[in-house]
Amino acid sequence: MAKFKGIRIVKEPTYSASYSEFDESELMDGDVTVRVSHSTVNYKDGLAITGKAPVVRRFPMIPGIDFAGVVETSSHAGFKPGDAVVMTGWGLGETHLGGYAQKARVKGDWLVPLPAGLTAAQAMAIGTAGFTAMLAVLALEKHGMTPSRGKVLVTGAAGGVGSVAVSLLAKAGWHVIASTGRAAEADFLKHLGAAEIIDRAELSGPGKPLGKERWAAAVDSVGSHTLANVLASTSYEGAVAACGLAQGMDLPTSVAPFILRGVGLLGIDSVMKPKAARLVAWERLARDLDPAKLAEISTTIGYDQIIETAPKILEGKLRGRTIVEIG
């Protein structure tokens, strides 16, 4: 298949994303070519397609920051034709042609074998958002956070990172407090395992340097005032894993939570994570996520629905995870 379909983002004459056709000669350098079967819609994908933030740093670009598929050709020692693989991060859809196409060529060192027990669609139901949620949970565990310490808060709980985090933490035995601005999703979040639901408005405005201790740990995908308030209400020697910026990149806080309560702020990066850590995270995801719950938080769309769907994640209109069947 010398020609293949994909979404093309261009900067000139104006920034735009369109369904297009590519030639294999347009693919970038890499030692593994993958026939892509599935991708997903992440917050960063919404930014890339709409141009709301400077996510794309190479033009033209195929967006899509993750994919699952089957190896077509490989000169990498770790992969052979027919191997099922997963790809997240490493600049995919930003500096390297991404997953919203029928083919991708990448470095084999970036790929992870599809975990046993997961289909390609399930891997993308997890995707970058679920992978990030798992990294946040692992970081809290490494910091010594266990359910015996108290409650755990998840902000942006109805979103991609949040919904997976709620499910993972509940299964691990935590009393999960889910923060959301969508009251209609309360039953959905409780079904995933949330014990309490709070309105995001409690956390989204300017707050005090220190508040009442309400939770021992938290996973925050929102940033800005929300993260500041989360830190202010974290209990003594608790920890917060920060992995998103849905509200903003700023952090209007003080040193009070850190020097008066010993709170730990754990930064979570999923883009450049070394392969060894990726393998651990994906093994845990395959083991700890209930397939039935994964199906319940997932919606599937076709390739030709990507561009119209992408803005909805920025508007907070998508629940859980959105899988894309590339076809």
State how far the Cα of 129 lies from the Cα of 286, in Å rounded to an integer: 14
pLDDT at residue 142 is higher than 60: yes
- Number of neighbouring beta carbons within 10 Å of residue 208: 12
pLDDT value, residue 319: 87
Please give the domain boundaries of the chain with CATH numbers for all domains. 3-114+297-325 (3.90.180.10), 129-267 (3.40.50.720)
Mean pLDDT of 72-99: 97
Determine the average pLDDT of the residues in 185-212: 96
Mean pLDDT, residues 198-221 taken together:
97
The pLDDT score that the predictor gives to residue 264 is 98
Nearest to 93 by CA among 47, 45, 46: 45
Q: What pLDDT, on the 0 to 100 scale, is given for residue 316?
A: 87
Q: Which long-range contacts (CB under 8 A, 24 or more apart) does 302-305 make?
A: 302/327, 303/5, 303/19, 303/100, 303/327, 304/19
What is the share, in percent, of the chain residues with pLDDT greater than 70? 100
Which whole number is the average pLDDT over 177-182?
96
Q: What is the mean pLDDT of residues 107-134?
A: 96
Tens digits of residue pLDDT in 268-319: 999 999 999 999 999 999 999 999 989 988 999 999 999 999 999 999 899 8
Which pLDDT band holds residue 215 (cuts at 50, 70, 90)?
A: very high
Region 253-277: what's the mean pLDDT?
97
pLDDT at 243: 97
**Average pLDDT of span 77-104:** 97
Q: What is the mean pLDDT of residues 187-216?
A: 96
Q: What is the pLDDT of residue 1?
A: 52
Q: How confident is the model at residue 7 (pLDDT cuts 50, 70, 90)?
A: very high
Q: Cα Rg for the chain, rounded, in angstroms?
A: 20
Has residue 220 got a pLDDT over 90?
yes
Nearest to 101 by CA among 124, 57, 67: 67
The structure's pTM equals: 0.93
Angle formed by the axes of helices 43-50 and 306-314, nearest 10°: 110
> Residue 246, SS3?
coil
Where helices occur in the chain by DSSP H, the ranges are 43-50, 120-142, 160-171, 186-192, 201-204, 224-232, 256-260, 275-288, 291-296, 306-314
Q: What is the mean pLDDT of the segment spanning 26-42?
A: 97
Beta bridge partners of 241: 219, 266
**Residue partners of 299: CB distance under 8 A and separation at least 6:** 318, 319, 320, 321, 322, 323
Looking at the chain, the whole-number percentage of residues with pLDDT higher than 90 is: 95
Contact of 113 with 83, CB cutoff 8 Å:
yes
pLDDT (average), residues 124-150: 97
Instruction: Band the pLDDT of 156: cuts 50, 70, 90.
Output: very high
